[in-house]
Amino acid sequence: MLDSTGALQLDGVPRRLLGAQVTIVELMDQLIPGTDKDLVTPLAKRVTNQYENIYLKTKVTNVEARPEGLVVSFEGARAPATDTFDRILVAVGRRPNGQLIGAQTAGGAVDGGGFVPVDRQMPRCRSWCARTGSCW
């Protein structure tokens, strides 16, 4: 199993993680929970055809290492009882790392939780983001 840091340090491309066969399992009722549904809906439409499966409102109940791969058990109305994978990326519990990227050094602000504060049009962020080449 991998966390997002481990995924960035892979020494090769697993056949069923970064290749053509990617499955997303999300406990909540939409991708990127907590994000405005108006933003998530176009993303969901786009990635639905790119991924092998997207299981929403689904819980992973068990992972067992077997010779054929990692056998994952699911609870969810649209998910199978089990499926087998080469690698698993666990993207739960990640925290913002604004203090670690040196945002303050570039003139940016970071709140106590590690977030870079922005408002609807992002002007609090825009000037220093432009200096770092990270402006969107």
CATH code, domain with 66: 3.50.50.60
- Distance from C-alpha of 89 to C-alpha of 83, rounded to nearest angstrom: 15
Same domain, 48 and 104: no
Give the per-residue pLDDT at 131. Answer: 47
Positions in the chain short of pLDDT 50: 123, 131-133, 135-136
Same domain, 72 and 39: yes
Same domain, 30 and 62: yes
Same domain, 100 and 86: no
Contact call for residues 17 and 37 (beta carbons, < 8 A): no
Give the per-residue pLDDT at 126. Answer: 53
Count how many domains the chain has.
Answer: 2
Predicted TM-score (pTM) of this structure: 0.60
Which parts of 39-125 are beta strand (E)?
A: 53-55, 59-66, 69-75, 82-85, 89-90
Give the per-residue pLDDT at 88. Answer: 86
Give the per-residue pLDDT at 81. Answer: 96
Give the per-residue pLDDT at 2. Answer: 66
Contact call for residues 84 and 71 (beta carbons, < 8 A): yes
Domain interval for residue 106? 96-136
Give the per-residue pLDDT at 136. Answer: 43
Same domain, 57 and 121: no
